[in-house]
Chains A and B, each alone.
Chain A
Amino acid sequence: MSAAPLLELRAVAKSFGGARALRGVDFTLQAGEVHALLGENGAGKSTLIKIVTGAHQPDAGTLAVGGERLSHLTPAKARALGIACIYQQPALFPDLTVAENIGLRLEAGTSLRTIDWAARGARALELLRRLGAEIEPDAEVRSLSMPEQQLVEIACALGAGARIVIMDEPTASLTQKEQHLLFTVVRDLRASGVGVIYISHRLEEIFALADRVTVLRDGESVGTHPVSSINEAGLIRLMVGREMTQIYPPGEATLGAPVLSLRGVGCTASGVHGVSLEVRAGEILGLAGLVGAGRTELARVLFGLTPADAGTIELNGEPVVLRSPQAAVAHGLAYVPEDRRRHGVVLEMPIAENMTMAVHRRMFPGAWLRFGAERSLALDYIRDLAVKCTGPDAAGGSLSGGNQQKVSLARWLATRPKVLILDEPTQGVDVGAKGEIHKIVRRLAQEGLAVLLISSDLPEVLGMSDRIGIMRGGTITAVLPGNADAPTVMSAALGQSEKGAA
C-alpha cells in the first residue's frame, strides 16, 4: 500500500512512576485490515490503546493518523479523528437511556444546543437495527446485559463513522451466538475500509478474524506478522519467548469419598435452580457452559454470597446451611473469584495481609495480630506458589495478573479448605503463569482437595477436568467424562444434544 497508513506509532514509550509500560513500540494499521494485538498481561497492550485513544500521553515517540502527526491527543480529539474504542467493560452511563448514551457520543455541537429527543431515539434505533440488535432505545443501560452494552458501544462507533475501531477483548463475556454476530460486524467494518485493532487472548479468534498480528512483550514489540504466515505455537513462542511443550499437566486422579453433594439446590434471586452434583476428594470437576449459564451464580450460592433457598447442600455427608461467606469458610469451602482486582485481592494491602485475610480467626486467636506468624505464612506461600514479588510487604496491586491470582489462591489455601471453587482462574493471565496455576491446581487435587473449576476456556476445562459438568439456563444439564472431546462439550453447552433427544 502506497498511501500513508491509517495509524502509525513510532517508538512510543510510556512510564508510570518507575514502571516502564512501553519502551519504544512501533505499530501501523492500514485501512481495511484487522490487526490483532497480542501479548501477556502487563505486556503493554492497554497502555498502547490508551495512548491511541488519547487517554494517556506518551512520554516519547510519535503518533500519526492518516499521515498527519499529532502532538497532543485528547479523548475528544481522538474521537473527532474517527478513533473509537470498545472496551471489555463498556464505558457507558448506566443511569441514562441507550438513546442518550449514543447521542452523547455522536452529537456534535456546543453544550448550549437543544436536544431533539425524537431524532435521538430514531438514530439509536437505526444504528442498533443495523447491528441486528434487539435493544430498545428507551431502556436504561443498567438494565442491559454486558453483551448488549457492548453492542451499544459498537453502535456508537458505527454512528461516529469511525475509521479506527479498537476492540479490547470484546468476546470475553459474549455467548457463542453473540460472538458470531460480532465477527460478522467486524468483517463488515473491514469491508467498508475501517481499520480494526483487535485484542484477544483467544488465539483461535485471531486466526479466524485477523489479517496481521503484532505481539507485545514487556512493553516492546517483538514482531508483526501476517496471520497466514504463522501458527499457534509460533505465536505462543513469541509471547513467552520460549517454547511451551505441554500446557496441561497430566493427572492421575485417585478419587476419595464425596466431599460436596448438592441436591436440588436453587436460589431464586440469582436464577440457579435444581442443581444436583457431587464432587469427590481428589477430583477436579470442570464446569463448562456459556456466559450467563449460571456457573458464577452457582459458585456464589455455594459460597453464601447469595444463599440458597431450595435444596440441600451436604459436606462430607453432613447437611449444612451456608447463609454467608463466613459460614461457607467455616465449613471448609473456598472461592477464588473471577474478578481478582475487585474481589480476589485488596490491591492496596500488602500480600501478607491479603493472604491471611480469610484466616483471621485461626491465625490470630483472640483477634490479636501476630505479625511474625503472618509473615512466615506469607513467605511460605510466596515460595510454594512461586509468587513473583519484592516480598510479603509488597502491595497486591503491584503484582501482575497471574501473581495476583496466586495471592488470591494462597489466601484460600491458607484456610485449608475441603472444597476449592475456582472461577475462571486463568482469565487474563499470561501463558507462563497459566501453566503454573494449572500445575498447582493439579497438585492440590492430588493432595485430596475437591476442586470445582469454572472456566470458559474450553481447552482448559478439557485438559484439567476429571469430569465435566455442563451448565445451561441456571442448572446442570449433563455431566460428561473427563475425556469428552470439545465438540461434545460445546454442543452440550449449546443445548443441541438435548434438542436432539426431545
Chain B
Amino acid sequence: MSAPVQTSRWKAIVLRHETALLAVVVIEWLCFNAIGPRFGSLDNTFDILRHSVEIGLLALVMTPVILTGGIDLSVGSLLGLCAILFGKLWRDAGLSPLTAGGCTLVIGALAGGLNAGLITGLRLPPLIVTLGTYSLFRGLAEAITRGADTFTNFPASFLFLGQERWLGLPTQAWLFGAVAAGVWLLVHRTTFGRSFRAIGFSPEGARYAGLPVQRRLTLVYVLAGVIAALAAVIYTARLGQAKADAATGYELFAITAVVLGGTSIFGGVGTVHGTLLGVAAIAVLNNGLVHARQPREVAGMLTGALLLLALSGSVAPKLWAAWRARSRPSPPPTPSSTTS
C-alpha cells in the first residue's frame, strides 16, 4: 500500500520487543568478545549452546504455559526427579539408556498430568498447585536417593548425547532445535496456539466459544512434564551424573527467559522466538561473565535484576502515561461553551 503504511510497519518491527532483545544479545556478545579472547571461539559457542539446552527446553514449554495465563514452578524439581528415576531405571532396573529414557518421558507426562489434573479438574490456581508439586517432586527425589545416592558411569554411547558432536553440532542441539521448531509451530501456526492465547486473555470467553479449555490446559502442562523429562535425560548426559538436587532453581531461569522474551505474565501475549532470544540473552551473560573472570553468583544476581528490569520496562510506558495524565493541570473552562 502507500508509503506511510510501509514506514509504520517498519517502525513496528524495529520497536518490537524481540528486536530490542536481539540488539541486547548482540551487544552482550560484542562486549564479552572484546574482554575475553576465547569467548567468541567455536568451542565456547558450543559450550554456551550445551549449557543453555536444558533451561532452553524448560523455557520453551513454559511459554505456552504462561500464554494460557498459568505458571509451572515444578519443572525444575521435575527435572531433578526425572534425572534420578532415569538413573534408577538404568542402573537398578537394568534398562538400556534408550528404554530408560523412554520410560522417563512417560513419567514426565504423568507428573505433568498430575499438575494438569489438579488445575483443570478442581480448578485450582496453577501457582499454588505447582508450588506444591515443586516441593513434592524434589522431596521424592531426595527420598529416593536418601539425599546422597548419585548415578554415574553411564556408557559412552549415552554420554554422546550430552558431550559429543553430531553433524558438526553438539548432539543435544539437534534435539533442542527440533523441540523449538515444534513448539514454535504449535504456538504460532496451529489452532492450539490460538486457543492458548484465547484462554490466557479470557478463560471464560474461550469456554463460551466452544474451545476445549480443559483439554488445552492439560496438553500444556503434560507437555511441560514431558519436555522437563527430556531435559533431565540431556542434563544427565551432559554432566554424566544424576543427583537429587539437579537443576535447582531452573524454573526461575526458564520464567526469566520467557518474561524477558516479551511474554506477558498475565497471559495471552508472547512469542516463542522471543523466548529463544531471552534464553540466549541469559546464556551469553552467564558464559560471558565466567570468561570475564566474574564469579558465577554475579550471573545469578544479574539474571534476577534483568528480570526485574524487563518487567519494569514492560509497564513503564503505561505508568508514564498515567503519571503524565495525572500531573497535567486541567486548563480553565472555555467560555464559548457556557450557556448561562
Q: Do chains A and B touch in the complex (CB under 8 A)?
A: yes
A contact residues vs B (CB 8 Å cutoff): 10-11, 24, 26, 57-62, 71, 305, 324-326, 328-329, 335, 337, 342-349, 353, 357-358, 360-361, 364, 367-369, 411
- Measured between beta carbons, the chain B residues less than 8 angstroms from A328 are 210
A357/B189 in contact, CB under 8 A: no
Q: How far is the CB of B214 from chain A (nearest CB, A)?
A: 9
B153 at interface (Cβ–Cβ under 8 A)? Answer: no
| B208 partner, pick from A26, A58, A337, A361, beta carbons under 8 A | A337
Residue on A nearest B188 in the bound complex, by CB: A369
Q: Is the CB of A346 within 8 A of B201?
A: yes
Q: Are B333 and A62 in contact (CB under 8 A)?
A: yes
Write the chain B residue with the least CB distance to A71: B330
A353 CB to nearest B CB, Å: 7
On whether the beta carbons of A367 and B205 are closer than 8 Å, the reply is: no
B198 contacts which of A10, A11, A324, A346 (Cβ < 8 Å)?
Answer: A346
B29 interfacial contact with A, CB 8 Å: no
Q: How far is the CA of A324 from the CA of B208 in the complex (A)?
A: 10
Return chain A residues, CB-CB under 8 Å to B293. none
- B268 on the A face (CB < 8 A): yes
The reply to whether A11 and B334 form a contact with Cβ atoms under 8 Å apart is: yes
The reply to whether the CB of B50 lies closer than 8 angstroms to some CB of chain A is: no
Measured between alpha carbons, how far is A361 from B206 in the docked complex, in Å? Answer: 15
Contacts of B328 in A (CB 8 A): 59
CB atoms of B189 and A369 under 8 A apart: yes
> Are B194 and A353 in contact (CB-based, < 8 A)?
yes
Bound-state CA distance A502–B178 (Å) is: 73
Tell whether, in the assembled complex, residue A11 and residue B333 are in contact, meaning their CB atoms are under 8 Å apart. yes
Q: Of the candidates B194, B205, B210, which one forms a contact with A329 in the assembled complex, judged by CB atoms under 8 Å apart? A: B210
| Majority secondary structure of chain A interface residues (helix, strand, loop or mixed) | mixed
Residues in B with CB closer than 8 Å to A325 are: 207-210
Minimum CB–CB distance from B37 to chain A (whole Å) comes to 47
Given that A11-B333, A360-B191, A360-B195 are known contacts, is A347 also in contact with B212, CB under 8 Å in the complex?
A: no
Q: Are A360 and B205 in contact (CB under 8 A)?
A: no
Q: What's the Cα separation between A335 and B207 when bound, in Å? A: 12
Q: What's the minimum C-beta distance from B187 to chain A, rounded to whole angstroms?
A: 11
Given the complex of chains A and B, what is the CA–CA distance between A48 and B190 in angstroms? 43
The size of the chain B interface, using a CB distance under 8 A, is: 32
List the 4 closest A-B pairs by CB distance, nearest first: A343-B208, A360-B191, A329-B210, A11-B333
- B59-70 near A? 1/0 per residue, CB < 8 Å: 000000000000
The answer, among A11, A347, A357, for a CB contact under 8 Å with B337, is A11
Checking A10, A11, A335, A346 against B205 with a beta-carbon cut-off of 8 angstroms, the contacting residue is A346
Residues of B within 8 A of A368 (CB): 189-191
Q: Which residues of B contact A337 (CB under 8 A)?
A: 208
Interface string of B151-195 (1 = CB under 8 A from A): 000000000000000000000000000000000000001111011
CA–CA, A343 to B194, complex, Å? 17
Q: Contact between A57 and B330 (Cβ–Cβ < 8 Å)?
A: yes
Could you tell me the distance between the alpha carbons of A10 and B338 in the complex, rounded to whole angstroms?
Answer: 7
Chain B residue, CB-CB nearest to A57: B326
A260: min CB distance to chain B, Å: 17
Residue in A57, A342, A360 with the greatest tally of chain B CB atoms within 10 Å:
A360
Please list the residues of chain B having a beta carbon within 8 angstroms of any beta carbon in chain A: 189-192, 194-195, 197-198, 201-202, 204-212, 268-269, 325-326, 328, 330-334, 337-339
4 other contacts beyond A60-B330, A346-B198, A353-B198, with CB at 8 A cut-off? A57-B330, A326-B210, A349-B201, A368-B191
Contacts of B206 in A (CB 8 A): 346, 357
- Would B189 and A360 count as touching, CB distance under 8 A? no
Cβ contact within 8 Å between A367 and B208: no
Check if B194 sits within 8 Å of A369, measured CB to CB.
Answer: yes
B205, B206, B326, B333: residue with the most chain A Cβ atoms closer than 10 Å: B205
A411 proximity list for chain B (CB < 8 A):
209
In the bound complex, how far is the Cα of B268 from the Cα of A324, in angstroms? 24
Q: Is the CB of B333 within 8 A of A10?
A: yes
**Is the pair B205, A24 in contact by a Cβ cutoff of 8 Å?**
no
User: Can you name 11 A-B residue pairings with CB atoms under 8 Å?
Assistant: A10-B338, A57-B326, A62-B330, A71-B330, A324-B212, A344-B205, A347-B202, A348-B268, A364-B191, A367-B191, A369-B190
Find chain B residues with CB under 8 A from A305 CB.
207-208
| Residue of B195, B207, B337, B339 with highest tally of chain A CB at under 10 A | B337
Closest residue of chain A to B325 (Cβ to Cβ) is A57
Q: Which residues on the B side are within 8 Å of A347 (C-beta)?
A: 201-202
Report the Cα distance A58→B333, complex, angstroms: 11
User: Which one, B204, B212, B325, contacts A342 given CB within 8 A?
Assistant: B204
Residue of B208, B326, B334 touching A344 (CB-CB under 8 A):
B208
B204 partner residues in chain A, CB cutoff 8 A: 342-343
Contacting residue for A24 out of B190, B198, B337, CB 8 A: B337
A345 touches B205 (CB 8 A): yes
B-side contacts of A358, CB under 8 Å:
209-210
Q: Which residues of B contact A62 (CB under 8 A)?
A: 330, 332-333
B202: A residues at CB distance < 8 A: 342, 346-348
- Of chain A, the residue at the smallest CB distance from B199 is A346
> How far in angstroms is the closest Cβ of chain B from A354?
8
> Once bound together, how far apart are the Cα atoms of A62 and B268, in whole Å?
40
CB neighbours (8 Å) of A353 from chain B are 194, 198
Give the docked Cα–Cα distance between A305 and B330 (Å). Answer: 49
In the complex, what residue of chain B is closest to A25 when comparing beta carbons?
B337
A10→B325 CA distance, assembly (Å): 20
B211 A342 Cβ-Cβ under 8 A:
no
A348 to B338, CA, bound (A): 39
- Inter-chain CA distance A140–B212, complex, in Å, is 33
Give the complex CA separation of A57 and B328 in angstroms: 10
A337 smallest CB distance to B (angstroms):
5
Residues of B within 8 A of A59 (CB): 325, 328, 330
Which residues of chain A are near B194, meaning CB under 8 Å? 353, 357, 360, 369
CB neighbours (8 Å) of A346 from chain B are: 198, 201-202, 205-206, 209
Query: Which of A62, A347, A369 has the most chain B CB within a 10 Å cutoff?
Result: A369
Question: B332's closest neighbor in chain A, by CB?
Answer: A62
* Chain A residue with the shortest CB-CB distance to B321: A17
Q: In whole angstroms, how far apart are the Cα atoms of A337 and B206 in the complex?
A: 12
How many angstroms between the C-alpha atoms of A361 and B332 in the bound complex? 58
Q: How far is the CB of A355 from chain B (nearest CB, A)?
A: 10
Q: Is the CB of B209 within 8 A of A26?
A: no
Q: Chain A residues near B201: list those with CB within 8 A.
A: 346-349
Q: Which residues of B contact A342 (CB under 8 A)?
A: 202, 204-205
Q: Which of B198, B333, B334 contacts A357 (CB 8 A)?
A: B198
Q: Are B337 and A349 in contact (CB under 8 A)?
A: no
**Are the CB atoms of B338 and A26 closer together than 8 Å?**
yes
What's the minimum C-beta distance from B33 to chain A, rounded to whole angstroms? 40
Residues of A within 8 A of B331 (CB): 60
CB of B61, distance to nearest CB on chain A (Å): 18
Q: List A contacts of B339 (CB < 8 A).
A: 26
User: In the complex, which residue of chain B has the Cβ closest to the Cβ of A56?
Assistant: B325
Q: From the candidates B191, B205, B325, B333, name the one contacting A369 in the complex (CB within 8 A).
A: B191
Chain A residues within 8 Å of B333, by CB: 10-11, 60-62
How far is B191's CA from A58's CA once the two chains are assembled, in angstroms? 43
* Complex Cα gap A26–B339 (Å): 9
Q: What distance in Å separates the Cβ of A220 from its nearest Cβ neighbour in chain B?
A: 10
Bound CA span A61–B333, Å: 5
**Residues of chain A lying within 8 A (CB to CB) of residue B332:** 62
The docked-state distance in angstroms from the alpha carbon of A24 to that of B192 is 47
Q: How far is the CB of A156 from chain B (nearest CB, A)?
A: 27
Closest to A397 in B: B201
